[in-house]
C-alpha cells in the first residue's frame, strides 16, 4: 500500500478536483465512473455510484438547503475597497473581484440571508468557493457579522455552511482581522443564547477553520471533506513526511473529536431541522 501511494504522491492539492467539467457526461474523480451530468445534478451533485460529494457554489448550496423561494438575501450592497491596493504581477485585485462577480455562484465568497429549512426559520450563511476560493475578506466578515446581529435580534438559529481556502491574502491584515471580528460576533451570539450550527464542506481550511467554522455549538461535516488549519501541501512541505491516508478528512476529525457528526448531503436538511427542534426555544 505504501509503495503504491508513494509513487504518485505529490502532496494534496487545494485546487478544485471535484468541479463539474463541461459537456453532458463527466467522469467521477473518485470512482472514475462515467456519469450523466443531469443525473448528478438531480442527485445534489453527489456521485450516484460512489457517493462522492462534489463541490458546489453558494447559490446551488442555498437552493439545496433552503425551502423553495424562502431565502431573502441580506447585506448585498457592499464590496471590498481593496484596502492594500493589491497587485500581483500587474494583475489588480480589484479586477479579480470584478471577474469573480460575473460568475453565477454569488457576488462574494459568502451569501447571507434569512431562510427556512424544513419550515424552521434560520439565519443562513453560505460560503461560495467559486469566488476567489471562498477566501475570507472584509465583505465575508461583515456579512457574517450582520447575519449574527440579525440572528440575535430575531432569535433565529444560525446555520453557516463553510467552504474556504482561508483568509484572503489580497486584503492582508484586514482579512486576518476578520477572524477576530467574526469570532467576537459569535461570542455575543453565544451570550445571547443562540444556536449556531456550523456545516463544514470540502474544503474548509485556514482562517475560516481557525475562526467561526470551529466555533459551532454543533459542528456537522459532509463526508470526506478536507478540513484543517494548514493545507496538506504546507504540512507536507514543512515536515517532508508522507501524510497518513484520510488525514484532515471529515472522518479523521470525527475520530479526533472535533466534529459532532458526518451527514450525507441528502440528509442535511432533515438533520439540521431536527437539531433545531432539540435546541430551539
Partner 1 sequence: MVGSEIKLNGDQYLPFEDKIAEFDRRIAELQAKASNDGSDCSTEIRRLQRVQTSELKKIYSSLSAWQTVQVSRHPQRPLLGDYLNLMVKDFRQLHGDRTFGDDPSIVTGFGQIGRERVLIIGQNKGRDTKEKIACNFGCPNPEGYRKALAKMKLAEKYNLPVVTLIDTPGAYPGIGAEERGQAQAIAVNLMEMSRLKVPIICIVIGEGGSGGALGIGVGDRLAMLEYAYYSVISPEGCAAILWHDGAQANVAAEALKLTSKELLKLSLIDDVIPESLGGAHRNIHDTIYNVERYIVKTLRDLKRTKIENLLENRYRKLRAIGTTFEKPTRRKTEAVKPTKKQPERPTIPDRLSIEAQLRQTAQIPVEEAEAKEPQTAAKE
Q: If contact means CB under 5 to 8 A according to the sort of partner, which of Zn ion, partner 1, none does residue 50 touch?
A: Zn ion
Q: Are strands 110-117 and 120-127 parallel, antiparallel or unpaired?
A: antiparallel
- DSSP of 204-262, one letter per residue? EEHHHHTTGGGG-SEEEE-TT-BEESS-HHHHHHHH-SPPPTTTTBHHHHHHTTS-SEE
**Nearer to Zn ion (CB atom), residue 28 or residue 268:** 28
Q: Exactly one of 18, 20, 29, 74 binds partner 1 (CB under 8 A); which one?
A: 74
**Nearer to partner 1 (CB atom), residue 129 or residue 252:** 252
Q: Which of residues 47-66 bind Zn ion (CB under 5 A)?
A: 47, 49-50, 52
Could you say whether residue 28 binds Zn ion (CB under 5 A)? Answer: yes
Distance CA 175, CA 166 (A): 9
Taking Cα atoms as reference points, which of 264, 269, 267 lies closest to residue 120?
Answer: 269
Q: Exactly one of 5, 9, 13, 31 binds Zn ion (CB under 5 A); which one?
A: 31
Asked if 124 and 61 touch (Cβ cutoff 8 Å), the reply is no
Distance CA 244, CA 242 (A): 6
Could you say whether residue 30 binds Zn ion (CB under 5 A)? Answer: yes
Could you say whether residue 192 binds partner 1 (CB under 8 A)? Answer: no
Q: Exactly one of 11, 76, 273, 279 binds partner 1 (CB under 8 A); which one?
A: 76
**Nearer to Zn ion (CB atom), residue 43 or residue 183:** 43
Residue in the block written with cell 465583505: 139
Question: 22: how many CB neighbours lie within 10 A of its CB?
Answer: 6
Binding mask 215-254 for partner 1 (x = CB under 8 A): x------------xxx---xx--xx-x-xx--xx---x--
Asked if 157 and 218 touch (Cβ cutoff 8 Å), the reply is no
Q: Which of residues 199-218 bind partner 1 (CB under 8 A)?
A: 206-207, 209-215
Asked if 167 and 178 touch (Cβ cutoff 8 Å), the reply is yes
Binding mask 1-40 for partner 1 (x = CB under 8 A): ----------------------------------------
Give residues in contact with Zn ion (CB under 5 A): 28, 30-31, 47, 49-50, 52
Amino acid at each position: 500500500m505504501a509503495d503504491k501511494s508513494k509513487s504518485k504522491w505529490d502532496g494534496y492539492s487545494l485546487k478544485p478536483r471535484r468541479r463539474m467539467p463541461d459537456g453532458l457526461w463527466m467522469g467521477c474523480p473518485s470512482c472514475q465512473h462515467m456519469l450523466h451530468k443531469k443525473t448528478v445534478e438531480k442527485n445534489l451533485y453527489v456521485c450516484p455510484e460512489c457517493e462522492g460529494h462534489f463541490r458546489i457554489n453558494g447559490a446551488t448550496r442555498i437552493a439545496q438547503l433552503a425551502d423553495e423561494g424562502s431565502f431573502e438575501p441580506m447585506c448585498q450592497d457592499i464590496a471590498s475597497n481593496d484596502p492594500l491596493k493589491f497587485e500581483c504581477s500587474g494583475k489588480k485585485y480589484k479586477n479579480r473581484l470584478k471577474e469573480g462577480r460575473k460568475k453565477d455562484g454569488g457576488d462574494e465568497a459568502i451569501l447571507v440571508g434569512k431562510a427556512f429549512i424544513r419550515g424552521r426559520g434560520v439565519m443562513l450563511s453560505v460560503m461560495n468557493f467559486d469566488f476567489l476560493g471562498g477566501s475570507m475578506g472584509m465583505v465575508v466578515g461583515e456579512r457574517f457579522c450582520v447575519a449574527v446581529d440579525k440572528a440575535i435580534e430575531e432569535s433565529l438559529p444560525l446555520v453557516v455552511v463553510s467552504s474556504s481556502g482561508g483568509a484572503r491574502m489580497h486584503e492582508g491584515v484586514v482579512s486576518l482581522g476578520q477572524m477576530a471580528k467574526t469570532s467576537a460576533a459569535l461570542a455575543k451570539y453565544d451570550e445571547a443564547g443562540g444556536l449556531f450550527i456550523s456545516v463544514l464542506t470540502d474544503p474548509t481550511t485556514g482562517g475560516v477553520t481557525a475562526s467561526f467554522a470551529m466555533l459551532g455549538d454543533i459542528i456537522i461535516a459532509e463526508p470526506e471533506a478536507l478540513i484543517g488549519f494548514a493545507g496538506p501541501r504546507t504540512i507536507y512541505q514543512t515536515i517532508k513526511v508522507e501524510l497518513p491516508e484520510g488525514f484532515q478528512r471529515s472522518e479523521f476529525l470525527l475520530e479526533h473529536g472535533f466534529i459532532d457528526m458526518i451527514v450525507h448531503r441528502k440528509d442535511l436538511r432533515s438533520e439540521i431541522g431536527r437539531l433545531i427542534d432539540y435546541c430551539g426555544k
